[in-house]
Chain A
Amino acid sequence: MRYCKYCNLHYNTPLDHCLFCNNELTKTNLENSQQMMEQTYLYPEFQKRKNSKRFLLRLYTFLGLIAIITCVYLDLSNHLEKGLSWSRYVISPIAYLLFFMSIITSSKKSIQKIIYLSYLTLLFLVYLGSIGDSSVWSIEFVMPLGLISINITMLFFLLIKKRRHHDYAIYSMLTSIIGMLPIILLFTHRLTYTWPTITCFLYSLTTFLGILIFTPEATKEELKRRLHL
């Protein structure tokens, strides 16, 4: 045991100096070789963490913002009256990558990350299509087929991960509901190619009803939990 004669404190920890007055600690008379052996630190040694992931995210955010501001300035300085044109092709992938990286580095569950990343990618592709001359490929093909892909992925997880069936049933139901939404476009827009949107709607509806019918009790229970007030 160590002792600070200035503060009148006994130390169980093998420090050389007093924590409060910084004077050298003396060994008490009681201290023999066995006690010396026993006197150890009660807590593990602090080790500084290297948070390179966070640093890279910050660096990318910084560089991305600089690139966005520069592009917007250059774009607007040439065609202020037309608004943003080519710079949107630069801004959108930078923003996409930024969101992508923040989702990847977040503490969410893997399945949630997959869902968020899938929808983010889909949104990015649809936006990319919408800023071009023709949005047909993105709105009429990429969006419905992408939503079907997400639904199939969720159904795949639902079927193979029996242990988390309740969770995945809800995720599948949610993706199915989202998959049914593009049908609205059929009524509000004149779509050139209607079959992908109709297929997406029918597939999503089938999945939704399938989950409701084949796992009614489990889904009902999970829904009750998720919606409890």
Chain B
Amino acid sequence: MVDKVRRYTPRPRQAAQEAIEAYIIRNQMKGNDKFPPERTMCQMWGLNRSTLRSTLARMVSDGRVHAVQGSGTCFTPRVDRVLQDLKSFTQYAADLGMKPETRLLGLSMVECDKQLARRFQRVLGERLYRVIRLRMLDGTPLMIETAYIPAALTPGLEERDLVGGSLFAVMEENYHLIMHHGYERISITTTTPEEADYLGTAAGVPAFWIVSEVYGDDGSLIEYCRTIGRCDRMQMSSTLYWIGGGDEG
């Protein structure tokens, strides 16, 4: 039953990508830091020009790097959305030293349809605020958030400042609604022409599709939110800890 030990040699393009990723880490690239000229990269890593080019092209389409006319290849910074903390957009923008900006794309009152009524455990026709906001960092559009909040919980929400900070801050300060726990589901969608317009991408490109629910301390759903996010400008990250992993064995 002994497997024969095989040897694996990465394919040229894979080796090229590994070399580039290693370079990014080693040089702690950020902002729009420049890569060395193609010729230098080829020499440095023993790659042929066409392998390097096809690898870079692939990384461009994934939004890892971008080409700048006249100055070669640059690193594309991504916003890291840390999943497990409930930090608001405003707060993590501040942590990143970036300037957050929010545009209100729509604010309306909608009635619970069957799906929403079931989700909120409310009656058909009960009113919900629907707040659609575009979030930007340093002028780059990142995501569109469509949030639903029961109108009964937040009367007069339309009077509040919905672009200055987080909705949760508004809900906590004005309505004493405390977010207690929640979840997010993350998958992929493609942008519609309208969404692409706001996000500044081509229509039909893949994007993050995030559905979240946040519950108050009485266990009731206080916000349901659907987010579409640019995958070339953001990624999600988290650190997890295994309970008890340290004291076994």
Q: Do A and B bind each other?
A: no
Q: What residues make up the interface of A, taking CB atoms closer than 8 Å to B?
A: none
